[in-house]
Amino acid sequence: MQEEKLRLEDLLESSKSPNDDDRINNVAIIGAGIMGRGIAQTVASMGLDVVIVEVDSEKLESAKTKLTDNIDNEIKRWAMTKSDKKSIFSRIKWETDLATVKGCEIIIESVQEDFNLKVDIFKQLDSIANPEAIFVSNTSTLSLTNISESISRPSKVIGMHFLNPVPKIPMVELVKSLHTSNETVLKVKEFASRIGKTPVEVYEYPGFITTRAIVPLINEAMHILLEGVATAKDIDTALKLGYNFQYGPLEMADMMGLDEVLTWMETLWKTLGEPRYRPNPMIRKLVRERKLGKKTLEGIFKYDEHGNKLN
């Protein structure tokens, strides 16, 4: 009788879905920039707990203010409610100490596109995080294989390339390195679906799908503007109405951050060597002048303090 009971318990245990005991419930995000805040909002809105880590309290407070302003703007547009805002903020912890990520099942790195910086962060996390924790990079152009080889858990490193604005874009690219295990892929696919994103699997390659496809379009739109063929507003209107885009390529560039877009262009130009990725003079000039788009309230277009386009 005892033996039969044990066999029954084994059978029940083996029939359990991995989702029963192995679901991701605690998420850490390193970096509270535009992408980090967007990922945090998305994850928290789906009922998961989030820890956001920034380098100092000043940047943390700035990130809190910006997330508050973004959500308040959505409330004014009737796209969210005050209850939504309260629920999201109740699930987000704001920290400056990396050690606070220790209990998280997945850690998402969302800092600027700098290989050495990402490797340094992963190395620090490797000695702090739970041995079973999955490390995710939000990189759009860098090699995950090279990043993963710097730590002791390369099989648990994967890319999740979110697009901006994260809460509104219903997909995410899942990027598998040479070392990423199938178990890691399956867990992250389930996590992506759970936070409302359709996961699209891609092979590791500079730019993946979305960055590689959008960079030449943005570059060409800037060349059209630079050559005086049409105004920025008319270029975006033509492409939005002509091809049913939600945003025109020039406004998209401003939303992404012109400094980020320039980094993507330079990386793709360097790694692939194809002229369509070579940055045009306009984006170099704007970045030099620190006109980086929505985050500085001026880029190709100008914006008010809520990020609404002025021209």
User: Which homologous superfamily is 210-296 in?
Assistant: N-(1-d-carboxylethyl)-l-norvaline Dehydrogenase; domain 2 (1.10.1040.10)
pLDDT value of residue 1: 47
0.95 cut: is pTM over it?
Answer: no
What percentage of the chain exceeds 90 in pLDDT?
Answer: 83
In this structure, the strands spanning 134-137 and 157-162 are: parallel
Q: Give yes or no for a contact between 97 and 248, defined as CB atoms under 8 angstroms apart.
A: no
pLDDT value of residue 305: 82
pLDDT value of residue 4: 43
pLDDT value of residue 21: 56
pLDDT value of residue 311: 67
Q: Which residues of the chain have pLDDT under 70?
A: 1-21, 311
pLDDT value of residue 53: 97
Whether the domain at 18-203 and the domain at 210-296 fall into the same CATH topology? no
Q: Which of 154, 136, 174, 123 is nearest to 27 (CA)?
A: 136
Helix (H, G, I), strand (E, B) or coil at 229: coil
Q: Where are the alpha helices (DSSP H) in 28-151?
A: 34-45, 57-76, 82-90, 115-128, 144-148
Residue 212 falls in which region: left (phi positive, over 0), alpha (psi -120 to 50) or beta: alpha
Per-position b or e across 75-90, b if 16+ CB within 10 A of its CB? eeeeebeeeebeebbe
Q: How is the chain split into domains, by residue range? A: 18-203, 210-296
CATH 1.10.10.60 fits 18-203, yes or no: no
Helix and strand element counts for the chain (H, E): 13, 8
